[in-house]
């Protein structure tokens, strides 16, 4: 794999000197000819001082993603070191009775464009950039060193691929074919992931700590879990002693899986109903009151120009939720939209509480767990915001 020069415009070197891993097209003055998407580049300032090494894709607005900020070879040994560090981090921070988690978190593990998740005996990978795709074979081979794994399955089918000019790819990279539903454990609960067809790679590990938090607050409570997907929050709520949990999601497949998860963990369907419905409609038309409401919607905002529209959507669901809480009730509300930062999200919740006419106080702000680390030089990686509120 050849390495070419990428020279920045005058004054555009400061973010790279501050170890930010992204270089946008507007910061680049010239790139040597004869490259292909994914090639390694030596990044130089306008006066040709070395700034680091990354990989290139001129089709992407993020033209260069940095791998190293010192003079070092980018080879199998480099990636082996990063993977070994990622595995060590999870070994230190993943609690007992958890066999499903994110093993490699892109920029958070200093491997931009690579996501790897563990589901029990299987790994599921996403190669989301041209640079990581060129290293796919080598990275797959290195992942054989992860202990206790029967196979590696690729699910490179995210929307981000189109921005990179890449085609989706799915299938076994090595080892055994995963079963239709891959079993794994989380905090003593039993779950399954459809790693072939499920959203993302089949499950949302980023809410694990928040599920444990909310589960501990549900004893004897009536709980509503909105945008429930496969019912993980519902299982934790039921496991925490909730009197009743209602799960609502628009996807029939997700609701079917929520029923499977509840039944697998010993919770009867009559006490823990799972409803296929539009959450906005359900919140408007259901006349029940709840002690605890969970709002964990999909990203309403995937582009910067969608922020205003997304803010209205977040305000609507939170306003409706505040109106349905009993006095002293709890609302856990989350946003995984990276363009909605915590400050804006809290202002949205403020507006919803004000319009609902409820005294509301914040009990806790949350994010994702240690298996989704955030580089301090890449604040954009902190995408998940959670706020636990009490409505009086």
Measured CA to CA, the distance from residue 79 to residue 85 in angstroms comes to 10
**CA distance from start to end of the chain:** 62
Q: In what order do the strands lie in the sheet with 151-156?
A: 100-105, 114-119, 122-127, 151-156, 169-175
Cβ–Cβ < 8 Å for 41, 57: no
Phi-psi label, residue 380: left if phi above 0, alpha if psi -120 to 50, beta otherwise = alpha
Helices marked H in 325-363: 342-356
Pick the closest to residue 37 from 19, 16, 14, 60 (CA basis): 60
Q: Which residues are catalytic?
A: 336
Tokens, residue 160? 């981000």
3-class SS of residue 163: helix
Measured CA angle at 104 (ends 2, 74), to 5 deg: 20
Give the other-Cβ count within 10 Å of 198's Cβ.
21
CA dihedral over 229, 365, 341, 332, signed as positive or negative: positive
Residue given tokens 């066999």 in the structure block: 99
Q: Where are the beta strands (DSSP E) in the chain?
A: 3-8, 22-24, 28-31, 40-44, 50-56, 62-68, 100-105, 114-119, 122-127, 151-156, 169-175, 182-186, 189-193, 222-226, 244-249, 274-276, 290-295, 325-335, 360-366, 385-391
């Amino acid at each position: 794999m050849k390495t070419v020069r990428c020279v920045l415009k005058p004054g555009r070197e400061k973010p790279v000197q501050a170890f930010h891993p992204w270089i946008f097209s507007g910061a680049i003055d010239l790139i040597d000819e004869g490259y292909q998407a994914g090639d390694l580049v030596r990044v130089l300032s306008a006066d040709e001082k070395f700034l680091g090494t990354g990989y290139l894709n001129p089709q992407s607005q993020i033209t260069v993603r940095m791998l190293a900020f010192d003079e070092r070879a980018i080879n199998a040994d480099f990636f082996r070191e990063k993977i070994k560090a990622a595995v060590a981090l999870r070994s230190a921070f993943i609690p007992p009775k958890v066999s499903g988690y994110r093993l490699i978190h892109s920029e958070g593990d200093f491997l931009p464009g690579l996501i790897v998740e563990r589901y029990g005996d299987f790994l599921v990978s996403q190669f989301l950039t041209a640079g990581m795709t060129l290293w796919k074979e080598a990275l797959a081979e290195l992942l054989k060193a992860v202990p206790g794994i029967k196979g590696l399955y690729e699910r490179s089918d995210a929307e981000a691929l189109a921005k990179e000019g890449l085609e989706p790819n799915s299938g076994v990279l090595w080892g055994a074919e995963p079963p239709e539903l891959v079993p794994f454990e989380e905090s003593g609960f039993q779950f399954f992931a459809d790693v072939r067809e499920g959203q993302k790679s089949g499950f949302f590990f980023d809410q694990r700590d928040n599920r444990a938090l909310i589960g501990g607050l549900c004893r004897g409570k009536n709980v509503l879990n909105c945008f429930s997907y496969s019912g993980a929050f519902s299982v934790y709520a039921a496991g925490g002693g909730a009197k009743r949990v209602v799960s609502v999601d628009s996807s029939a497949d997700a609701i079917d899986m929520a029923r499977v998860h509840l039944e697998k963990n010993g919770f009867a369907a009559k006490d823990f109903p799972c409803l296929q419905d539009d959450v906005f409609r359900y919140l408007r038309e259901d006349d029940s009151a709840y002690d605890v409401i969970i709002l964990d919607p999909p990203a309403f905002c995937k582009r910067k120009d969608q922020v205003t529209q997304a803010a209205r959507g977040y305000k609507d669901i939170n306003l409706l939720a505040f109106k349905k809480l009993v006095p002293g009730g709890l609302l856990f509300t989350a946003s995984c939209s990276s363009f909605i930062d915590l400050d804006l999200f809290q202002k949205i919740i403020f507006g919803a509480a004000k319009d609902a006419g409820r005294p509301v106080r914040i009990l806790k702000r949350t994010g994702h767990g240690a298996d989704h680390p955030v580089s301090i030089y890449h604040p954009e990686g902190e995408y998940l915001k959670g706020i636990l509120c009490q409505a009086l």
